[in-house]
Amino acid sequence: MHVPARKLYQRIAEDIAAAIADGRYRPGTRLPGERDLAEEFAVSRPTIREAMIALEIRGMVEARQGSGIYVTQAPPPAGRSPELDVGAFELNEARILFEGEAAALAATSIEDETLAALDRVLESMAGAGESPGAVDADREFHLLIAEGTGNSIVRSVVEMLWQIRESSPLCVHMFGKARREGVTPRVAEHRLIVDALRARNPQAAREAMRAHLRRVTEDLLAATEVELIERAQAEAHAQRSRIAQRASL
Among the three residues 84, 106, 132, which one is the final residue of a domain in this structure?
84
Whether residues 112 and 38 share a domain: the answer is: no
Whether residues 95 and 198 share a domain: the answer is: yes
Q: Which of 71, 81, 77 is nearest to 169 (CA)?
A: 81
- CA distance linking residue 24 with residue 107, whole number of Å: 53
Whether residues 76 and 99 share a domain: the answer is: no
Residue 112 lies in a domain: yes
Element holding 200 (H helix, E strand):
none
Whether residues 106 and 156 share a domain: the answer is: yes
Residue 244 lies in a domain: no
Which string of b and e fits 90-113 if b means at least 16 CB within 10 Å?
Answer: bbbbebbebbbbbbbbbbeebeee
**pLDDT over 90, % of the chain:** 42
Residue 49 lies in a domain: yes
Whether residues 116 and 157 share a domain: the answer is: yes
The pLDDT-based confidence of 59 (bands split at 50, 70, 90) is confident
What integer is the mean pLDDT of 134-144?
Answer: 93
Residue 235 lies in a domain: no
Lowest model confidence (mean pLDDT) among 131-145, 169-183, 207-221:
169-183
pLDDT at 237: 55
Range of the domain at 128: 88-223
- CA distance linking residue 102 with residue 110, whole number of Å: 11
User: How many domains does the structure of the chain reveal?
Assistant: 2
What integer is the mean pLDDT of 87-95?
Answer: 89
* pLDDT for 113 beyond 70: yes
Residue 149 lies in a domain: yes
Domain with residue 55: its CATH number is: 1.10.10.10
pLDDT at 3: 43
Whether residues 100 and 182 share a domain: the answer is: yes
Residue 39 lies in a domain: yes
Q: What is the pTM (predicted TM-score) of this model?
A: 0.66
* Strands 68-71 vs 61-64: parallel, antiparallel or unpaired: antiparallel
Whether residues 189 and 117 share a domain: the answer is: yes
Among the three residues 84, 117, 144, which one is the final residue of a domain in this structure?
84
Whether residues 132 and 218 share a domain: the answer is: yes
Whether residues 45 and 94 share a domain: the answer is: no
Domain with residue 98: its CATH number is: 1.20.120.530
Whether residues 94 and 191 share a domain: the answer is: yes
* pLDDT for 207 beyond 90: yes
